[in-house]
Copies of this chain bind each other. A is one copy, B any other.
């Protein structure tokens, strides 16, 4: 199935055309988005996540149009950002994860069970009652993943989720994102080794698609352009 398909997608922010004529048909389970600073990666990610409306063109994410059915999209798509502080809404770890389940209106016992399971899966078990902002940077980012995954999303969009992490935490976060647990992944990153771990990749340049295809080929092309 196609994860993201767009044709002639355009996005204008303020007076500026930030994305111009992006056409893609992505069906790999894990997709990396790479490119220079300011090339439009974050903007594309936010349009796919339904957080920003397109100015023109056509877009289907997991088969549905974000502009027509934002609620359906939001139920299936989760987003992870690089700044963990902006993603933590509640005072304690467990409360923060439970917040993601609010709209599901589960009975309390089931909600707690799902929260505990999610915390365990991301290695945060036992920290449920700790103030969330007391965690280390790496732990906070794992908490953000937890809040994203607890809703069982079918597509996870992550915008430089490892930028501020050390090697160990970065690998742990990347492993969780790339693991096949029934979700697709769109991953924005400057870490080219990480981009290579995705199946396919899209290279953005100046608001357009400069290349797309198997990640190794796209990343090789980008890397050789970088060094000359």
Contacts and interface: CB of A to CB of B under 8 A. Distances in A.
A36 B190 contact: no
Contact of A166 (B36, B165, B168): B36
Q: Please give the count of copies of this chain that the complex contains.
A: 2
Nearest to A140: B37
Interface string A199-228: 000000000000000000000001100100
Given A37-B136, A137-B37, A163 B166 contact: no
A37 B168 CA distance: 9
Interface residues of A, number: 24
A164 B167 contact: no
A169 to B, nearest CB: 5
B192 A35 contact: no
Interface of A: 35-39, 82, 136-138, 160, 163-171, 190, 192, 222-223, 226
